[in-house]
Amino acid sequence: MARSPKTAAAAAHSLGKPLKRSFFARSVLEVAPDLIGATLLVDGVGGIIVEVEAYHHTEPAAHSFNGPTPRNLVMFGPAGFSYVYRSYGIHWCVNFVCEKAGSASAVLIRALEPTHGIPAMRRRRGLHDERSLCSGPGKLCEALGITIAHSGLPLDTPPIALHARVGKPEIVTGLRIGITKAVDLPWRYGLKDSKFLSKRF
């Protein structure tokens, strides 16, 4: 039986109701901040989303900007599915597809605060302090075991589960990281004062 959270910290670790695919059928600029504080689990392993970035195909930093390719095809499909890509030939990065089919917009998940399955995450990542387990888009995919095999999967069906946040967190915004195009758009969102960010705002 779940008990009601007595502190802000406890609330931040509580699981809200499961998010359905329809949650993502909105502007990527609405979905991105609403994901801060939500919990992402893959096969029961994961944590609280503390950092995301929004990408829309009308701006050149998005993978979908130049139209569909074998890699980005799922971005052009319906909302509520995952888009996983290989970054720099080494890492995997996971996005949530938003808006309507053909909009080709997505939210990149950049950092989690680990809460579930921390031993499994440590095993996958090697010796690491908890703060470094999921503090970057490539890191969190390694910690959760996300690969290309998870691309195109629905976000409301096992092995993936998303739970709404409990309460309303303080959200900070800033410029997106690691890009050279459309660098002026403030489409990075984070949980204020989180110690699990990929980089300070």
Partner DNA sequence: ATCGCGATCTGCT
Partner DNA sequence: GCAGATCGCGATC
Cis amide linkage into residue 159, ω under 30° from 0: yes
Q: Is residue 27 a contact residue for DNA (CB under 7 A)?
A: no
Alpha-carbon span 126 to 95, nearest angstrom = 24
Q: Is residue 122 a contact residue for DNA (CB under 7 A)?
A: no
Alpha-carbon span 87 to 146, nearest angstrom = 13
Q: Is residue 108 a contact residue for DNA (CB under 7 A)?
A: yes
Q: Is residue 29 a contact residue for DNA (CB under 7 A)?
A: no
In this chain, which of 93, 98, 155, 191 binds DNA, going by CB under 7 A?
A: 93
Residues in the chain, overall count: 201
Q: Is residue 53 a contact residue for DNA (CB under 7 A)?
A: yes
Q: Please name which of 166, 37, 44, 180 lies closest in space to residue 109, comparing C-alpha atoms.
A: 37
Of 16-24, 30-38, 59-67, 153-161, which segment contacts DNA by CB under 7 A?
59-67
CB of 84 to DNA, least distance (A): 10
Which residue do the tokens 């503390």 mark? 50
Amino acid (one-letter) located at 23: F
In this chain, which of 181, 186, 192, 195 binds DNA, going by CB under 7 A?
A: 181
In this chain, which of 46, 137, 145, 169 binds DNA, going by CB under 7 A?
A: 137
Helices (H) and strands (E) in the chain, counts: 5, 8
In the complex with DNA, which residue's Cβ is closer, 88 or 119? Answer: 88
In the complex, the residues that contact DNA under the rule CB under 7 A are 53, 55, 61-64, 66-67, 69-72, 85-91, 93, 95, 106, 108, 125-126, 128, 132, 136-139, 148, 176-181, 198
